[in-house]
């Protein structure tokens, strides 16, 4: 059975309003050691900004990060997934959209975030468990049990 998004997502998500400056977002990312921040418009999920978005905006604009509102840089529309969906669907959606992060929402409420790294870690764990089961079965007698 395939795991649900809620089982492996990160539920501690940083979200800021679209009027927040990139400087503020960058400081929050550095302070919390995170790679993205969800952007909201009047508390409704609107978009997402990643580290590479900030670097790109700084390079292309030549302006201080304090002068750039997140709304100009955020990837929009936000690609989301519901917490009860399968991780298989999360992988497919990421592949289809060519993205590395999905914001997990229930209606318009942010529940968490799931990343490609979360999925790699999860499937790596499952692969290790499967290998352990295979090794145990190889050590067991091969005759039928009654």
Band (pLDDT 50/70/90 cuts) for residue 82 is: very high
3-state secondary structure of 15: strand
Residue 123's pLDDT is what?
73
Q: Which domains does the chain have, with CATH numbers?
A: 5-139 (3.10.580.10)
Please check the confidence at residue 145 and state whether its pLDDT lies above 80.
no
As separate numbers, helices (DSSP H) first and strands (DSSP E) second, the chain gives 5, 6
Lowest mean pLDDT among 41-45, 85-89, 130-134, 136-140: 130-134
SS3 27: helix
What 127-132 contacts at long range (C-beta under 8 Å, 24+ apart), as own/partner pairs, is none
At 27-75, the pLDDT tens digits run 999 999 999 999 999 989 999 999 999 999 999 999 999 999 999 999 9
CA distance 27 to 36: 12
Task: Provide mean pLDDT across the span 107-126.
Answer: 87
pLDDT at 138: 73
Query: Is the pLDDT higher at 6 or at 145?
Result: 6
- pTM of the full structure: 0.80
| Cα 114 to Cα 145: distance, rounded to the nearest angstrom | 43
When the pLDDT of each residue in the chain is averaged and rounded to a whole number, the result is 89
Which tokens go with 21? 């400056």
């Amino acid at each position: 059975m395939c795991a649900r998004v809620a089982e492996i997502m990160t539920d501690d998500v940083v979200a800021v309003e679209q009027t927040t400056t990139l400087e503020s977002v960058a400081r929050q990312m550095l302070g919390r050691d995170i790679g993205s921040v969800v952007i909201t418009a009047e508390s409704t999920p609107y978009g997402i900004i990643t580290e590479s978005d900030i670097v790109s905006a700084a390079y292309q604009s030549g302006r201080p990060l304090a002068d750039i509102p997140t709304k100009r840089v955020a990837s929009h529309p936000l690609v989301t997934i519901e917490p009860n969906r399968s991780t298989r669907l999360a992988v497919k959606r990421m592949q289809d959209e060519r993205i590395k992060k999905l914001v997990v929402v229930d209606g318009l409420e942010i529940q968490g975030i799931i990343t490609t790294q979360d999925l790699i870690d999860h499937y790596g764990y499952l692969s290790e468990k499967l290998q352990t089961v295979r090794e145990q079965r190889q050590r067991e007698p091969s005759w039928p049990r009654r």
